[in-house]
Chain A
């Protein structure tokens, strides 16, 4: 104050620092935004995290809010448990799951949510769900250790990013089982007697979808976008092309990585760019990536495939089929193994065990799958389900 010049210097320095921060924040793109998702849940997560704690004795009270909107998922439940309820009712496995996105994202989190709800409705588990869960290690640890302290038997972190915090905290809770979606099979340094990595075998439905794509494409060019360069995404787009090449040996692929799981508008532009370069059938690896891609194919009258969940409602004319992850089957095995005291370090529930489905969209009309491709698809589908055809998992440039 006494030295206005010094004062303004300090200010200037502060603003310069801030500018640097902002540039950094911006250049981290949606990592930063994803981190926003992290602390953001402050309201939501706090509420969600409190809920189970407060209502744990009578989970019935926690559910109605979440359940009421989806009676559809609830109904099949009501029928099945009739047969199964008697035995497991006594020794249900208590499960808590962290979902890093919205329950109704029509993709990653919704598939997992419906999977665990199915097990709950079958009477296999007591369930606590945190949606919009913190994405940063510290926030995730806070939520997960809460469940572990509570004595929850299985804590599931439904993201690759939950591997590190789980690796850190799992030794402190030897009686609690942890699971994360790593798809690593022991190569990511996340390990421990009470940690399981579960696999996302999307290369299988991607290969089969690729066969359909090969029978649709006129240009022989496939467009693909992926959030980040991670093994599952590589394996997905590589398998997709291999499938297409079974029908169209000359098929090629255009790729774009977005650097984001949430930037639908950027994905839409990536799809536009690929369409301008001749691509006419599209595949995505990432929630928002698939939204933007599907919208662009809708506007251009081209064809695309749904990611992880049935996304045909986004463009009934344009979505050929969706690669729908039946994650509940993976969780079911974990729960059964825990009940049998036989927890495994790695769960890869493939299509042969019902782990993934290719859900055809009956309304698809933007193109047509050639008869030859359709026939090959049916054959390969059966072979993959029988386990007689192995789709290669190509996770790196060297194969």
Chain B
């Protein structure tokens, strides 16, 4: 096999670029989910949020011709599912796992249905995806420059948001309220924090980020919508939250690792003889998951504290003794 085609000097930068492209949609959703879970809500609707965001972004860009409007709509599309999730899980206090899965099914059915009803049996409309934004001077640095400073503007936005979530969670009053709502909602309540409001806000934030993740796929990469275009990234994102042990930065690192392994496996498959290769292709597909699982096991075994929010998945009912 031609390893130089995968790891050669000329191949490394494209490999890192591809890793970032693969990591960003999932990473955005995963970091949003980590915030949501820190507030105590196990939001399994993530895939639905992404898909809804992807479709809203497609529609807005298609009808307005403005990719940034599409990005905004993507955020809105994710928050739409977030509103429903908050309504069921926070206001009505029904089982979070069921709500989440139901909303994924809703988003999948609704987007497919709308796509056929709106566009019929005509060619799916497409548009040019958003271009790259090279940051002046920095982008010209050989090597590093083109990886770090010559990306889609959505990548920079993602980085800012991810750091923003970390900052919010660990350095602000609201972040403290979120963590309290997730660990000891009763104590938070006694301290005058509205657990319901905090949780609803966290779900909406998670919806916004997942919706943006979906928008990145459609507006930033593909320029079209296809049925279930998010292809399971929301589920991967939920796994990444556990991987990152509920810390936004570790979750983001996990997303990058996953994207990197995926970019790598595609390159190894291509360079190693593809269908003529003796290694079954399923091995390559499993690679990102295997690597992630191994890292989770190692990280969990080494960790001393239990990072999981104590009231994760438990609806908070005021006055009822929960924990």
Contacts and interface: CB of A to CB of B under 8 A. Distances in A.
- The 10 tightest CB contacts between A and B, nearest first, are A69-B120, A255-B274, A40-B108, A263-B231, A257-B281, A70-B121, A259-B285, A254-B270, A33-B232, A27-B289
Contacts of B109: 40-44, 132
Category for how many chain B residues contact A? 35 or more
Interface stretch (B60-68, B70-78, B158-166, B260-268): B260-268
A110 to B, nearest CB: 6
Interface in B221-235: 221-224, 226-232, 235
Interface stretch (A143-151, A270-278, A331-339): A270-278
Interface residues of A, number: 84
A288 interface: yes
Q: Tell which of A25, A26, A32, A70 has the most Cβ of chain B within 10 Å.
A: A26
A102 B14 contact: no
A262 B226 contact: yes
A104 interface: yes
A253 B18 CA distance: 21
Contact of B115 (A27, A41, A65, A102): A102
Given A256-B270, A268-B221, A262 B231 contact: yes
Contacts of B263: 269, 273
A313 interface: yes
A397 B275 contact: yes
Contacts of B224: 264, 291, 295, 314
B241 to A, nearest CB: 9
A29 B231 contact: yes
Given A22-B242, A273-B18, A262 B229 contact: yes
A43 to B, nearest CB: 4
A264 B119 contact: no
Contact of B308 (A1, A15, A238, A254): A15
Interface string B88-119: 00000000010000001110111011011101
A264 B229 CA distance: 7
Interface in A25-64: 25-30, 32-34, 36-37, 39-44
Interface in A281-302: 287-288, 291-292, 295, 299
Nearest to B5: A277
Interface in A113-164: 113-114, 131-132
Interface of B: 2, 5, 11, 14, 18, 21-22, 25, 42, 44, 47, 97, 104-106, 108-110, 112-113, 115-117, 119-124, 126, 129, 217, 221-224, 226-232, 235-236, 238-239, 242, 262-263, 266-267, 269-271, 273-276, 280-282, 284-286, 289, 293, 308, 310, 312-314, 321, 323
Contact of B226 (A29, A224, A288): A288
A23 B227 contact: no
26 contacts: A12-B308, A18-B97, A19-B239, A23-B239, A26-B289, A27-B289, A36-B104, A40-B104, A40-B109, A102-B116, A104-B124, A110-B121, A224-B274, A229-B275, A229-B281, A256-B270, A259-B281, A259-B282, A263-B232, A264-B222, A265-B22, A265-B229, A266-B22, A270-B269, A291-B222, A295-B223
